[in-house]
Structure 1
């Protein structure tokens, strides 16, 4: 029995809202639930002037549909800044033609998302962001024929968010099919880590009957098991939270014993609507 049988367990698609500076917010990934997510967050409500929104733009960790379809819901904004890596922008503009489709409605401005930290806010102050290459996993709509840069490891990235004023740092990695070089160093310097918790164990997709591939083959390292991510997170001093849970993951049930297993290692699941201060 999953979220459909227990609607109280339903979790929206994984996303973060980041306050870049006073009155400026950026959303990490534009999910199909973006309208509900904005409505549930008063700080993101539009107004008071017409066509005004505190949502200044979007940061994309990859080009998957679950993380980009919400772009269309922002078409009534005067302007939307999109921070994305080169292959992600190419996929969205050339394969999905999002720039052509949304052009008559709003001005999409693209900024390169790279490994060097850059301020999110127009003022050049506040939260800084940088990307850590994770993998060359492409979305299915961009898989055949292979586009230029098919082996580019910036198809999927993790994000490092740093507040120079407080020194606080968070790492957001909602999709991990492998453990990339440099991630250990990034996590060691973080105060908060939000990591891919799509599947509890590697056989979950097979056992649940919705796939013939393992979790790892689907591009998501499992939480538990000899190659699971929990054993990597447990030694960290950071606050470690799992996000991006699939509806087959037992952690969607607040009473599941797997929560106790995580708690014993100092780990937990990110809650809907939780606030994190850096």
Structure 2
């Protein structure tokens, strides 16, 4: 299992398991499955409504808590300093944990203009030792720059939609300049059109791997943290079996050249849903 060292010295698995759109009861089952396979990083959020299920899996797992890396997030409707502090307490209560390893601002929601106060609440929780690391999701360069200008703690990562149709090259360069990791959500692209492309399937055949494994490997070799999601046991296993092969520079470039700057998810500048 590959790990990365975040800008505050905390170590995080580079490959994790995401539980977006996984119902609460099912979350317990599939997170236990993922931990058994070897995943040690689990990514949830308040809005996923499965923190309780994830927490139950952590409780039932034979793997010690300190060997797991748990991420959750504050939602748009909970933004603001005091609201965020309250939302965090509610999240850890649902999770049944004393601390989380990573707490993220889920969206900048610039229309509300509360993400600076929200992040300052994360800074307090971080300084109080309730969180091992803090970061953001779906922040564009302008949002990150304002955060860097007005806040004290540099976010350890920015979790964004990223896949071969949306390589986020400019954003990744900015993050690299400021020692901020990029973490890919929807790493296999919602709908999976990328997986069906001839170029991807040809690379997969060459390595005797699946298209999904090739794309996950592409993320890893791009120094991106990645959190694929599946509720199918065979795919949970398959998505983890990506450390026994490497893509060539030519193959990496072929995949990167697929970029269309095409989102499947919301645009961060327009996302204000509560």
TM-score range, shorter chain: 0.3 to 0.5
Which fold has the larger relative contact order, with Cα–Cα distance below 8 Å and residues 6 or more apart in sequence? 2
More strand, by proportion? 1
Q: TM-score, normalised by structure 1?
A: 0.37
Q: TM-score, normalised by structure 2?
A: 0.37
